[in-house]
Amino acid sequence: MVGTGYVGTVVAACFATLDTTVIGVEAEPSKISALRSGQAPFWEPDLDELLGTALRSGRLSFTADVGEALAVSDVVFLCVGTPAAANGCPDLEALDTAARLIGRHTDGHHVVVTKSTVPIGSSQWLTSLFEEAGTELAVVSNPEFLREGSAVSDFLQPDRIVLGSDNAAALETVVELYRPIVEQKEERLRPPVIRTDLVTAETVKYAANAFLATKVSFINEIANICDLVGADVTDVAGCLGLDRRIGPGFLEAGLGWGGSCFGKDLSALVATAADCGYEASLLQATIGVNKKQRMLIVEKLQRHLKVLRGRRIAVFGLAFKAGTDDVRDSPAVDVACRLQELGALVTVCDPRASAGSAPGRVRFERDPHRAATASDAVVIATEWPEFATLDLEELASNMRGDLLVDGRNLFDPHLARAAGLRYDCVGRSGVALAAPVHL
C-alpha cells in the first residue's frame, strides 16, 4: 500500500483485518512511527481500533522502503495524494515518484492498482512509465468511494466494487482480495463487482463525485428559489427523495459542498473535457453555484446587521462537514475569512478540527457557548450534531445580539424563535417567518 493518507491507511487496515498481509509504505518517519503504534495521522471514526487489531494480528506493518515491501508482495496499491496544483488540476508528482520506484524495484510479477483519484488516462500513462523502466506491469484501476467520517464502513460495506483493466488475470487477482467483502455473510451487504476497462473505471470515479456535487448544487439552487417564493426546501427535498428515480441522499441544502475531493475532481473533469475540445457547462455551473452558495451566509448577515465591521460573529464549524477534522476547501473557512475581510471580529468553534486550522487571526474556541459569548450573531457553518443539540436559550442569553444564521438548516425555526433568537436559514424563509403551526 504505497501512501498512508486517508485512503491508504483505511484500505491497508481494512484489508489486513480481512486476512490479507499488508505492508504500508510511507516516506515520512514521524508518520510511520505513529502508524506502527496504531495511530492514524488524522481522525477517522473506528480507524485507530481497526489499526490496532490489524497490527496485533501481525498482518499489517509499515516501512519507508518500497523495495522491501515489493520483495514480499504481489499486488501494489497506489494510494498517494494527488492534491490540486496551482492550476486546479491534480498534482501527479507523488504518483510519478511512486511509479518510478516501483518500476525500479519490481521483478515484473506485480499487479499495480490505482486507488488514488487520478486524471482519466493516468493508468495508461502508468503502463507507459513501467515500459520505459523496462518492465511490463499489469495495471488495474480500482476507484475508491470512501467518505471521510464513514470510510471504514464504506470500505467494508461498499455499494459496488469497480475494477478496470485490459488484463483479465490481473483483474481477477484484485477481485480475490475483495472476496471476504463480496461473499460476506449478510447477503444484502454483498456488493456487485463491476469489471470494465481502465478508462471507464477511471471515469466512474469522476462521474460519481460530479453527480453528487451537482445534486447538492441543484438543491441549493432550489433552496434559493424557495427563499424567494416562501417554500420550505426541506419538505421539497423530502418529496423529491421519495421518488426512487431521484433518491433521498445529497439533498441537504446549506452552505454548499467542500472537502478535498469534489472541487478538485470536478475541476479535473472539466479540464479533461476541455482537453478533448468539450465545454462541460453543467459541471462548470455546479462549481459556480457552489462558490456563490458559500457567500450566502455573509449576504444574510449583511441583510440583518448591515455593515459587519466591528461586529462580533461566532462561526460554528470549521471542518468541511461533520464527522471529520478535515478543513480542506471548507465552506466554513471561506465564510470566516470573508467575515474577517469585512472587518468582523470572528470566533470559530468546532468539536474536532484543530485550533491551528483556524484561518488568519480568527479566534478559536472548542466550546460553542464560549464562542458565542458577547457575539452579535452566530452562524452555523458545519452540520455537527453537537450544534443541533445546543440549548438555544442558553446560547441566546450569552450573546450580545440575537441573530442566528443557520447555514445548515440544523434547527427548527419555531424553536429558535421561541428561544428569543432572530432566525434565518437556507431555503426555509417561509417557515422561519410563518406563525408556529404546533404551538
Catalytic residue numbers read 261
Q: Give the C-alpha separation, 397 to 402, whole Å.
A: 9
Contacts of residue 294, defined as CB under 8 A and 6 or more positions apart, other chains included, come to 255, 256, 331, 334, 335
Please give the span between the terminal C-alpha atoms of the chain, in angstroms, as a whole number.
58
Question: Whole-number minimum distance, CB 151 to ligand UGA, in Å?
Answer: 8
Question: Whole-number minimum distance, CB 64 to ligand UGA, in Å?
Answer: 25
Question: Whole-number minimum distance, CB 382 to ligand UGA, in Å?
Answer: 7
- Tell me: does residue 294 bind ligand UGA (CB under 6 A): no
The two most distant CA atoms of the chain are separated, in Å, by 76
From residue 402, how far is each of 35, 92, 336, 374 by CA, in Å? 46, 49, 19, 10
Applying the rule CB under 6 A, the residues between 115 and 144 that interact with ligand UGA are 117, 144
- Tell me: does residue 165 bind ligand UGA (CB under 6 A): no
Contacts of residue 390, defined as CB under 8 A and 6 or more positions apart, other chains included, come to 368, 369
- Tell me: does residue 250 bind ligand UGA (CB under 6 A): yes
Q: Give the C-alpha separation, 214 to 299, whole Å.
A: 23
Stretch that binds ligand UGA, among 258-266, 299-307, 356-364, 396-404 (CB under 6 A): 258-266
- Tell me: does residue 347 bind ligand UGA (CB under 6 A): no
- Tell me: does residue 5 bind ligand UGA (CB under 6 A): no
Applying the rule CB under 6 A, the residues between 298 and 337 that interact with ligand UGA are 320-321
List, in sequence order, the alpha helices (H) in 342-423.
368-372, 385-388, 392-398, 413-418
Out of 79, 102, 201, 212, which residue is the one contacting ligand UGA (CB under 6 A)? 212
- Tell me: does residue 202 bind ligand UGA (CB under 6 A): no
Out of 50, 146, 318, 431, which residue is the one contacting ligand UGA (CB under 6 A)? 146
Reference 363, options 374, 347, 351; nearest CA is 347
- Tell me: does residue 263 bind ligand UGA (CB under 6 A): no
Question: Whole-number minimum distance, CB 115 to ligand UGA, in Å?
Answer: 10
C-alpha cell at 437: 403551526
In the complex, the residues that contact ligand UGA under the rule CB under 6 A are 117, 144-148, 209, 212, 216, 250-252, 254, 256-259, 261-262, 320-321
